[in-house]
Structure 1
Amino acid sequence: MDIFDNIDDLAIEEETIINEYINPPERKERIIRPRPDHFRIWDSKEFHRRFRLRKESVQYLLSLIENKIKHQTERNQCISPMLHLLIALRFYATGSFYITVGDFGGIHSSTMCRIIKKVTEAIASLRTIFINLPRSDEDIRSTQLEFYKIARFPRVVSAIDGTHIRIQSPGGNTAEEFRNRKGFFSFNVQAMCSADLMFQDIVARWPGSTHDCMIFANSHVKYHFENGEFGNGIILGDSGYELTNYLLTPFQNPDTPTKTLYNESQIRTRNVIERCFGVWKRRFPVLSIGLRCRLPLAQDVIVACAVLHNLARSKNEEEPPVDPELHIPPQPIFPPAIADFTGDERCHTRNLILINYFHALPTE
């Protein structure tokens, strides 16, 4: 009896398969969800608050990278280049999970990952256009004049410092190299800026445990300054950098009015890099909240945000209004890293400026 029951079950199953092959079930109707047109539905103020750039700047940026991010076909309701760009900008503005930003644009989270990667690489590729140190004699003199207007410090072409950008643990055997002295994982990003808070150079490849001086010692900027490519131009840095004839740091223990005056002017002039970091991170809160993506993409995001910052500054855009929906954690204050550098007397440039310039200024 059991044998006959099994035969009947096999016959029924075979008949079901044949019926489904002859009369296939109707396919579910494909539902195409309309994607919001964020460029048109928001007014200028709300657009600026959500995407951190003005509409005019976004259109200009799109004209530069459109060929790199658009699909090669218009089939299957492909995502427009403008929506590609706005999705990436929204990610920089919030630092949210991909699924959250995807819901904002009506896009699946798996597609979001590819969009952010493609757009970020395209924006970062504009680095050579937007981030540059002054090279011509005219640009160097103009930059030195703008720095001189701040606190009357002569010959300055740039201010340099490092800032930590939080990341998630990269894992692997080298993960602890990214843990900085404050205990969280980060990139130690070295940047140089002008008097009008424009990035002139950015290095975003060193783990958080790396000392500022080590980053500069292995940078191409050091090579160019040592070759005298900036004339008599100098850089201002804090005490974490080694004192050289082209990178001037403050006196650790000023014991004369002239040295005190030098320190005050040096610190006030160098402060532009701190202000630049503050404006940069307020414009793109993802840099304050932390990056939850893999290391190559995290580095590209940092560089892309620097490019966008310079774009906004070049267009004279004001800082975006505060988004009440964003919770930006307070940034830890890193005191200057005091390195055991000596050689105050052997630095000819600092002594020359101290004697020939600050000594002649009134100290009151």
Structure 2
Amino acid sequence: MELVAAYVHDRALRRERRYRDPLDPLRISDEHLLRYYRFPRCEILRLCEELDPFLRRRTRRSHAVPTHTQVLVALRFYASGTFQSVIGDSCGLTQASVSRIINSVTWILCEKARREIKMPSTAAERLKTVEDFAKVSNFPRVMGAIDCTHVSIKAPVIDEHLYVNRKRYHSLNVQVVCNADGLITNYNPKYPGSTHDAFIWANSFLRQRFEAGAFGDYFLLGDNGYPCEPYIMTPVINPSTPAEGRYNRTHTRTRVIIEQTFGILKSRFRCLHQSGGTLQYSPAKCSKIISACLLLHNYCVKRRIPAPHEVVENDGDMGIQVQEQRIAGQVTGHAIRNELIRMRFS
């Protein structure tokens, strides 16, 4: 009997550890969720259901952090860019636990972004994309607007100088293509901040696809940081005719969509904007965080989730203008642009 009593007493003293979860989306208002997590309750629950097979912890040692808490912790980080210890204090988790959660959720979203973010693949999808752009300012044959934006990161240990951009801070230069609705259809988040926009484009798989004829006679709209090519139309430098002026104005009104997209993206996910601080991770991990935010931005666009009231300005680098070059004996972007101006803007 004494042994039994001692055993019961010992069990009573060694209480099982339980994680008391203060983050329950069913008990938090939509207004609060939108403000601090960027998604309403229904979309957070949908995201939890989608990620649960990958995030559910299988352990018998203690009660695991539930999926919805992991999703909310990651969303709070993306939305604010604040320190992991601050997020942990708000939900009763250690900094180490918050770090593991952000790593897990980011990796899953990054892998989903690789599969889900893609250029229009069918003839019907491409035609709709072109028609949507034409509704903006009647610019024809536009498959997307392209530009790069800088995301501030801490100084890397390896090749630190390569990450210093023209504004003298460390960053990744992220190439993005969007459609007329601001939906991101292509991205490349891996180049250091000193890399020129034109170099990223020249070495991109997307350019190879255009060269191979995957998108027919459609093209992208870019600024003068890009070369004028058959598959990327840029403004005319120093326009000399009324038609060239009309072309430039229409080009600007259409291409501004990518600038607006960057502003909304960085307003939703302040970890990508300098107002949210600098991403304190290696360039490889920062690339994954950027990819995760791009995917979440697309979810917001598709489900018409309103953008934050205060939209920040894009803190990217305007870059250096690419010298226009004409290649003899080839059908160049200049010839296509000149024909476009003659046919549509004269």
Q: Counterparts of 1:134 and 1:329 in 2: how far apart (Å)?
A: 29
In the alignment, what sits opposite 2:219? 234
- Equivalent residues in 2 for 1:323-342 (5 A)? 332=315, 334-342=317-325
2:300 aligned partner, one-letter code = A
In the alignment, what sits opposite 1:51? 37
- Equivalent residues in 2 for 1:281-320 (5 A)? 281-288=266-273, 289=276, 290-320=278-308
In the alignment, what sits opposite 2:335? 348
In the alignment, what sits opposite 1:125? 111
Contact 1:57 1:312 in 2 (8 A): no
Report SS of the residue matched to 1:122. Answer: helix
Mind listing any 5+ residue stretches in structure 2 that lack a counterpart?
Answer: 1-9
In the alignment, what sits opposite 2:151? 165
Deviations 1:29-67 (A, max 9, x none): 676452203313311111111101122222222222211
Larger Rg: 1
Normalising to structure 2: TM-score of the pair? 0.90
Matched, 1:212 2:197: yes
How far residue 135 of structure 1 moved from its aligned partner, in angstroms, is 1.8
Report SS of the residue matched to 2:98. Answer: helix
Q: Counterparts of 2:224 and 2:304 in 1: how far apart (Å)?
A: 32
Q: Counterparts of 2:315 and 2:76 in 1: how far apart (Å)?
A: 25
How far residue 348 of structure 1 moved from its aligned partner, in angstroms, is 2.5
In the alignment, what sits opposite 1:89? 75
Q: Counterparts of 1:331 and 1:303 in 2: how far apart (Å)?
A: 17
Normalising to structure 1: TM-score of the pair? 0.85
1:62 aligned partner, one-letter code = C
Q: Counterparts of 1:339 and 1:171 in 2: how far apart (Å)?
A: 31
Contact 1:237 1:247 in 2 (8 A): yes
Report SS of the residue matched to 1:206. Answer: strand
How far residue 267 of structure 1 moved from its aligned partner, in angstroms, is 1.0
Contact 1:186 1:208 in 2 (8 A): yes
Q: Identity of counterpart residues, as a percentage? A: 30
In the alignment, what sits opposite 2:56? 70
Q: Counterparts of 1:133 and 1:331 in 2: how far apart (Å)?
A: 23
In the alignment, what sits opposite 1:249? 234
Instruction: Name the Cα RMSD after superposition.
Output: 2.2
2:344 aligned partner, one-letter code = Y
Contact 1:35 1:105 in 2 (8 A): yes
Q: Counterparts of 2:189 and 2:86 in 1: how far apart (Å)?
A: 27
1:144 aligned partner, one-letter code = V
Q: Which piece of structure 1 moves more, 350-359 or 152-161?
A: 350-359
Alignment size in residue pairs: 329
In the alignment, what sits opposite 1:13? none
1:206 aligned partner, one-letter code = Y
Q: Counterparts of 1:246 and 1:167 in 2: how far apart (Å)?
A: 32
- CA change 1:138–1:87 in 2 (3 A) is same
- CA change 1:334–1:226 in 2 (3 A) is same
Deviations 1:106-156 (A, max 9, x none): 111111111100110111111145311112111111111110111111000
In the alignment, what sits opposite 1:272? 257
